Amino acid sequence: MNSVTTVLAGLDAVRPGVEALYRDLHAHPELGLQEHRTAGKAADALRRAGYAVTEGIGGTGVLGVLTRGSGPTVMLRADMDALPVQEATGLPYASEVTAVDRDGAGTPVMHACGHDVHVAAMVGFAQLMARASEAWRGTLVVLFQPSEENGDGARAMIDDGLLDVSPRPDVVLAQHVLSYPAGYVGTRAGSFLSAADSLRVTLHGRGAHGSAPQAAVDPVVMAALCVVRLQTVVSRELAATTPAVLTVGSIQAGSGPNVIPDRAVLQLNVRTYDPAVREQVLAAIERIVRAEARASGAPREPEFEHLSAFPPTVNDRDATDTVTRAFAACFEQGVHTADLQTASEDMSEIPRAFGVPYTYWCIGGTDPARYADAVEKGTVSQDVPVNHSPHFAPVLQPTLDTGVTALTAAALAWLAPAGSGSAPEP
């Protein structure tokens, strides 16, 4: 019996608790850096399983360490935060939570991105590894990260001394549930998730009565011209084979139909995979906006504010190959090559800070029958809710079992088998 089989022999015993934790977390979501209840649940579970636990890293982050003799050190990370979304799943454990966001506004909150799956699966995995600690050697580091959705949780933990309180890992591993059918497991070497930049652009005009446009410099028209022109950055300045996304997600200007305002505010999001392309797109945005402002006779230069920046997720090829082989030996349904994703993550900040390789994979969460029906009808994009949708609701099984199993197989691909003289060959 190999170490993966030995550890997973306890899956039936922990499954009810994992499912109950998932339902509880889903019903009690918390926004970034407010995950006090979630972090407490994770910390309590780790302590009961025998881990040395450090809480409050970066605000609400939790670190658990379990050492069983000499051997490799493996870190696995799960994110904890939810989103300001009104849930519309109709689940019996649907969220009815409201909270105050960073701007002081009240908002409904929902686990619309599956971080409840990540936490529950990580807890189940951590319990299994502690129960079967005779099957492996080395140091297991389990990390529960806050505020992934805001892009600042990983950096907050690093700035708060994560590298001082955690053993230095040999590799960092993480997973994410996506809208693929439950039971799906996908890996991808190299570029996997895009970098993401969010910007706020303020255009300045001159206000006037709506009946006297000649007295104004209309920032609404200026903003409209910018929006149209910005659509040409990807379509006309990048090669058709170069992936990138530029979205103007918000336009705010004016307060009434007969008043020309003195400013307009655009909020933009950019997704890229290559650092040179990122710089090219950001430079093109500034060039176009400044040119449109000058062409409109704006009395002041536009202002640019960088709201957030997510790094790209570029999986180490050797680490990904190691995990892929481990999954192939573990999952009867096989391992897929995951599609390139335009979503973004801040997890890579952690292995980058340690200076170690990482790999990040995905699992499916959609009811397989529902997914197959949508494929047959050609309506996957319409009928299968994706992450951040108010209808996003991963099915409990086999989603949770898949998540626990994937974490186990991936970790044990590095941790040495008990009684061996060395770590497994990567």
Tens-digit pLDDT profile for residues 141-173 = 999 999 999 999 999 999 999 999 999 999 999
Residues 152 and 298 in one domain: no
Query: ∠ at Cα 397 (392, 403), nearest 5°?
Result: 85
Element containing residue 217 per DSSP (H, E): none
Compute the average pLDDT of residues 266-287: 97
Contact 253, 266 (CB under 8 A): no
Q: Which residue range(s) make up the domain with 273?
A: 195-309
pLDDT tens-place string over residues 322-375: 999 999 999 998 999 999 999 999 999 999 999 999 999 999 999 999 999 999
The last residue of a domain, from among 267, 291, 309: 309
- Asked whether residue 15 carries a pLDDT value surpassing 80, the answer given is yes
Residues 84 and 189 in one domain: yes
**Percent of the chain, pLDDT > 70?**
98
DSSP state letters, 191-211: EEE-EEEEEEEEEE-B-EETT
Taking the C-alpha atoms of residue 300 and residue 294, their distance in angstroms, rounded to an integer, is 9
How many structural domains is the chain composed of? 2
Question: What's the pTM?
Answer: 0.92
Confidence of residue 37 (pLDDT cuts 50, 70, 90): very high
Residues 237 and 146 in one domain: no
Per the domain annotation, does 423 fall within a domain? no
The predicted pLDDT at position 424 comes to 52
Per the domain annotation, does 425 fall within a domain? no
Confidence of residue 417 (pLDDT cuts 50, 70, 90): confident
